[in-house]
Amino acid sequence: MAVATSRRHFLSLAAVGVAAAACGQATASGGGGGETRKLRYQGWAGQVILPELAEDLGYFGDVKLEWVGNTISGPQDIQSAATGQIDFGGAFNGAVVKLIAAGAPVKAVISYYGVDEQSYSGYYVLEDSPIRSARDLIGKKVGMNTLGAHSEAMLDIYLQRNGLSAAEIGKVEPTVIPPVNTEQTLRQRQIEVGVLGGILRDKALAAGGVRSLFSDFDLLGRFSAGTYVVTERFLKQNPGTARTFVTGVAKAIEWSRTTPREEVIARSTRIIEKRGRSEDTSSLKYWKSTGVAETAGRITDEEFRLWIDWLVQHGDLKAGQVKPGDLYTNEFNGYAA
């Protein structure tokens, strides 16, 4: 699928989400005039997300998580949050910008993942691949978890920085591959490039036979890349619960940053084993960091300005359509060092 086509596809999904938001949000509060103490969410198979860690560490008090299933991507997760099917969702900040620009009444409340020297997504080819440069990607398939999100944005930036025209970029084929299948799909030569991050990347590197073409860290250095969003209605009706949630996640970020890596891995393994979903925990041993750049996941204008400028450049937004400060709030982050 060409880059422009996939962007239009995401924006059409955003419009659908906004249209459904009004009726879906009615379920966001606990009802009965009091604040809800239950947060519905989607998880990721074989992974422990920060809210799950925060709850296990006791940072949520009497606020409880209710798992409703696993998500397939960040854009899907925040769509579900915008329509009230769940109470919070997380995605790449570019996807958050597009959703809010389309009219979804949500706010980003805390960063939850990012890129650093240890946590990054690499674009990998087989060791014997003839692909050595951006121009070699023309006509090639690049496997990634979803379209219109982090991986496609990084691919686009890489191609632009290396001088490819819009027409040439359109001939590169971003292809949706579930992350757990990316390594196998690459080794079977069904795609020419696979995006691998975190534990899946390290597992593939340990097996050998692949090499990096570039990474998001190579492109942009350290940065927080994604945020959790909550509807404005939920924040208004449940400010205490929202503060407990955001502050608890903030504490979990700092706990992960300051706790020995082996202890973080052991805790995550116990969490997965306790929830009894028949998940494989073997990949957890490759965990290194959350990658969140700012203390306690606090959000800055720069984390959104980068993607606003990128979307304006590609015609997905109009200049001035959204401003960074309109997209997020740190009001509910009560973390104190």
Residue range 296-311: mean pLDDT, rounded: 93
- Residues in the chain, total: 337
Tell me which architecture the domain covering 3-116+222-326 has in CATH.
3-Layer(aba) Sandwich (3.40)
Residue 31 has pLDDT above 50, yes or no: no
Does the global pTM surpass 0.85? Answer: no
pLDDT for 189-229, tens place per residue?
999 999 999 878 988 999 999 999 999 999 999 999 999 99
Residue 150 banded pLDDT, cuts 50, 70, 90: confident
Residue 174 has pLDDT above 70, yes or no: yes
Residue 30 banded pLDDT, cuts 50, 70, 90: very low
Give the pLDDT score at 130.
97
pLDDT for 315-336, tens place per residue?
889 999 999 999 999 999 999 8
CA distance 243 to 225: 22
Residue 138 has pLDDT above 90, yes or no: yes
Dihedral-angle region of residue 286 (phi above 0 means left; psi in -120 to 50 means alpha; beta otherwise): alpha
Q: What is the CATH number of domain 121-220?
A: 3.40.190.10
CA distance 159 to 125: 16
- Pick from 55, 99, 53, 54: which is nearest to 73 by CA? 99
Residue with tokens 């300051």, as numbered in its chain: 258
Dihedral-angle region of residue 58 (phi above 0 means left; psi in -120 to 50 means alpha; beta otherwise): left
pLDDT for 191-200, tens place per residue?
999 999 987 8
Q: Which residue type does 142 have?
A: V
The stretches of 83-187 forming alpha helices (DSSP H) are 93-101, 150-161, 166-169, 179-187
CA distance 268 to 284: 8
- Domain residue ranges in the chain: 3-116+222-326, 121-220
Give the pLDDT score at 228.
98
